[in-house]
Chains A and B, each alone.
Chain A
């Protein structure tokens, strides 16, 4: 079903103002998070930066936005906004036509006229998400500190902002979001599961459209900021749902479709090792965090927190070994076993990459279950932080005195079990479908069974960590 058949939705999405307004609000919240981190109380549970970023925003992102809207967050994310405004020379529409859609329309005398973006192409060798995998791991290694110290959270957020601005001034389009943002990487991976997609209605219309304004830009909008060619798009992974193609298509050939959950996982094209590794990194990180942060072992928490010390080095080495070697290695063995059992002629590497997409729903379920453990338990901090964002003794809306009260404490374990079992079923079905793409039915069963056993073992392990 194409949501753009409804005139109200189409108008709201084509118009720049609703998106711009939400982005401005998000930017204000982002700046407040940075300022409260730098100048507010160092007590994390009383600081707006910690409470809003790691409890409120995280809950909305992992439990609602990503599963149901895919990259919906990216369309209003404030981090790339200042860089994009400088790059474009404008806050809103493109105005005068510029062929590449970026950086060529700074008006003399405007605040943007002093900035001259270089508009370079992102280096070809880095047009993948390996760098994003690296930036995520970098943040993940320091997460015990980032999640709990307001000043560190503020520095990390500010670094994201400055990096995004710097990259926008050197490279064209949203290179930071596409290739570097540690959050954007996993949102892209899991956006394949979302029940909504931006696609062209009829590729034949695109084929006859010489100008390709969805990619090059027009007076109505910018060429795809995510460097995606919409007519060739078969997955959500790199579509930032920014709606520029909707604005630039002169043939009304863009659709926003409601579709079954996880539809992209059945697409054989564009399965890649960097994305496979993203799936391992996310799956492994969910398991490590569930053990270290939510487990009862104080020594592990202190090791993860004592950055630079020997215990932290041991933690970091174990973390990286588990995520980058042990987990993929074990998965490789399961795929190899499936190949041996089934007699499949497919190369192990091809099966390894393809089957790793079964870990996408498993990973999202793992992150949802992990998040449920602490998000609701600590949500009452949000009310206090709203009223006293800097922890300076204010009481703006009368909720500063709200005491810590865990929400849904009795219900959370049931939700976690449901989410984990659901994630396992989804992963298992996906594995079987992927196996069936290039094998007959009996062979597909044998090919996928070891992978399904792997998913079952992971599910039961996480269930043990979170619920036992």
Chain B
């Protein structure tokens, strides 16, 4: 019984560590200028995924190729709107690491709500925490005993 309690405590502590520990897996910031030309048309961005490092100065030149499109960056709460033939520029410092959705902010047609892209800033720590938690859960289920589950010999 004591062994089981200790095992659960260790697993719980590991889960807390994975979920909340302030890991620093981000690349060294370099303040590099990153300039992207992003074409928006047919309910998609091209390129659809933008990779930068934390601290980079990002400039997105949004070019609408068919109708008016917008680009909103989740997590940064920034947006820009471009009309066909009139590109617009969004500049910001990528000071928040993680993966953020880019969404069209102007109704552009039927599939508008699903017009998305991604901004990836450094390492996606949330994803790694999620993977870690799932693997810990897998380990726990395979090796530990819990109420209602058969005992592992």
Q: List residues of chain A with CB under 8 Å of any chain B CB.
A: 43-46, 144-145, 148-149, 293-299, 301-302, 305, 373-374, 377-378, 404, 406, 409-410, 412-414, 417, 420-421, 424-425, 428-429, 432-433, 435-436, 440-442, 444-445, 449, 452-453, 456, 459-460, 463-464, 467-468
Contact = CB atoms under 8 A, between A and B. Distances in A.
Secondary structure type dominating chain B contacts: mixed
Contact of B137 (A406, A425, A444): A425
A445 B117 CA distance: 41
Interface string B114-153: 1111100000101101110111011001100010111111
B152 A441 contact: yes
A425 B141 CA distance: 8
B127 A410 contact: no
Contacts of B34: none
A26 B130 CA distance: 39
A468 B127 contact: yes
B72 A406 contact: yes
Nearest to A374: B113
B49 interface: yes
Interface in B22-36: none
Contacts of B53: none
Given A433-B148, A459-B134, A442 B142 contact: no
B61 interface: no
B126 A467 contact: yes
Contacts of A460: 131, 134
Interface of B: 42-46, 48-49, 72, 74-75, 77, 98-99, 101, 103, 105, 107, 110-118, 124, 126-127, 129-131, 133-135, 137-138, 141-142, 146, 148-153
Residue among B44, B45, B99 with most chain A CB within 10 A: B44
Contact of B134 (A296, A413, A433, A463): A463
Given A432-B141, A463-B134, A378 B44 contact: no
Contact of A409 (B45, B101, B113, B146): B101
Contacts of B124: 467-468
5 contacts: A145-B110, A377-B113, A417-B129, A432-B149, A452-B141
Given A44-B112, A442-B153, A296 B99 contact: no
Contact of A464 (B44, B107, B127): B127
B146 A413 contact: no
Given A453-B138, A467-B127, 5 more contacts: A148-B113, A297-B48, A374-B114, A424-B134, A442-B153
A404 B148 CA distance: 47
B126 A413 contact: yes
A424 B139 CA distance: 12
Contacts of B46: 298
Q: Name the residue in A298, A299, A409, A467 with the highest tally of chain B Cβ atoms < 10 Å from its Cβ.
A: A298
A378 B114 CA distance: 10
B126 A456 contact: no
Contacts of A301: 43-44, 111, 114-115
Contacts of B110: 44, 145, 148-149, 305
A406 B49 CA distance: 20
B130 A463 contact: yes
Contacts of B48: 296-298
Contacts of A436: 149-150
Contacts of A373: 101
A382 to B, nearest CB: 13
Most chain A Cβ neighbours within 10 Å, of B43, B45, B113: B113
Nearest to A411: B75
Contacts of A452: 138, 141-142
A144 B114 CA distance: 10
B130 A467 contact: yes
A429 B118 CA distance: 34
Contacts of A302: 42-43, 111
B134 A406 contact: no
Given A297-B48, A428-B138, A456-B134, A414 B126 contact: yes
Nearest to B141: A428
A43 B107 contact: yes
A299 B117 CA distance: 13
A92 B33 CA distance: 69
Nearest to B42: A298
B79 to A, nearest CB: 9
B11 to A, nearest CB: 12
A80 B48 CA distance: 44
Nearest to A453: B138
